[in-house]
Amino acid sequence: MSRLLERARDLMAKPGAWLSAEGGAYALRLSPDRRSRISLTLTETEFRALIDQPGLRVRPGGGWSGRAQPDPTPSPAPGRPGFVAGERDLMQPDGRMVRARANLGESPIAWLARRKDASGRPWLTPAEAAAGERLRREAEQATKGASLTMRWDALPTSGSGTAARMEPTDRALSAARRVEQALTAVGPRLRPILTRICIHGDSLQLAETGLGLRRRQGKTVLKQALQALADHYGIG
C-alpha cells in the first residue's frame, strides 16, 4: 500500500473528511467548505481503493464521505480506560477473605503512560510511570494481608465473605507499611489522587470528578504527585 493511500485512509477517518471529483482527480478535504484547502489529491485508482476500504458513501451536498467501520475490539466503559471487570480474593482487616471486584486489565498508570500530548510527548515520564506502578504493586501485595490503615485500603467489595480467616503475612504487612510511608511522603495535598488512581484503580477522569478537580487539573496534580513519589522511591 502506497504512503499516499495510507495517508488518505487515515484522513478519511477524521470527522468532516470528504472527497470531491475535480478535473479528472479526486480532492480530499477536511472541511465541509468546498473552498477550503485540499489536503490530498487522489487518482482514479486510489479513489477505487478507498471504495474498498474504508468504504465510501454519497455525501449530502455532493461528493463522498467515509463509511464508518465497526471496531473489532469493544471499547472500555467511559472513564475506565484499560478496565477489565473481574474478581479476586482479598483479605479484610479482620482476617476474612472475600471476593472483591477488581480491574484485571491494564492499570490506569500504564494506560496514561502510553498517551501522548499534541506535541507527541508522553503524558508521563518513565520515572513517574515507574513510581506509580510500584505503588500499585505494593498496595496489591498489602491487600493480601490485614492492612495498617483504613484510609487507603478500603477498596469496594462485592459478595459475602467466607468463614476462612488467615493471618497476615510478614510480606503483606511490610508492603502495607511501605504504602503508608509513600503516601505520607507525598503529603496530604497529593495523597488523594495517588490513592484514587494507583490504589483504587480509578481513571484520571473519575479521580478528577471524585476529588472535585477541574477538567485537566487532575493531570497536573497527578504529575506532581508522581514526581514526589519518584523522589521518595529514588527513581529517576
pLDDT of amino acid 170: 74
Question: How high is the pLDDT of residue 162?
Answer: 36
**Do the beta carbons of residue 187 and residue 232 sit within 8 Å?**
no
Q: What amino acid is encoded at 225 in this protein?
A: A
pLDDT of res. 116: 87
Alpha helices in 143-196 (DSSP H): 170-186, 191-194
Strand duo 40-42 + 64-66: pairing: unpaired
Cα separation, 53 vs 69, in Å, equals: 9
Rg for the chain, CA atoms, rounded = 25
Question: Within 13 Å of residue 226, how many CA atoms lie on the same side as its CB?
Answer: 27
What spatial distance separates the first Cα and last Cα of the chain, rounded to whole Å? 42
Cell of 73: 475490539
Beta bridge partners of 40: 28
**pLDDT at position 182:** 95
**Residue 198 phi, psi (nearest 5):** -80, -30
List the chain pLDDT tens, one digit each, 236 residues.
578 888 888 899 888 899 999 888 999 999 888 888 999 999 988 888 888 888 888 888 788 988 754 444 444 444 455 555 565 544 444 545 555 565 555 688 988 888 888 788 888 999 999 999 999 988 888 876 544 433 444 433 333 333 333 345 677 788 888 999 999 999 999 999 999 999 888 888 888 988 999 888 999 999 999 999 999 999 97
pTM of the complete model: 0.51
Given this model, what pLDDT does residue 55 score? 86
Residue 97 φ/ψ, nearest 5 degrees: -95, 130
Question: How many whole angstroms separate alpha carbon 221 and alpha carbon 113?
Answer: 15
Cis status, amide bond into 76, omega within 30 of 0: no
pLDDT of res. 3: 84
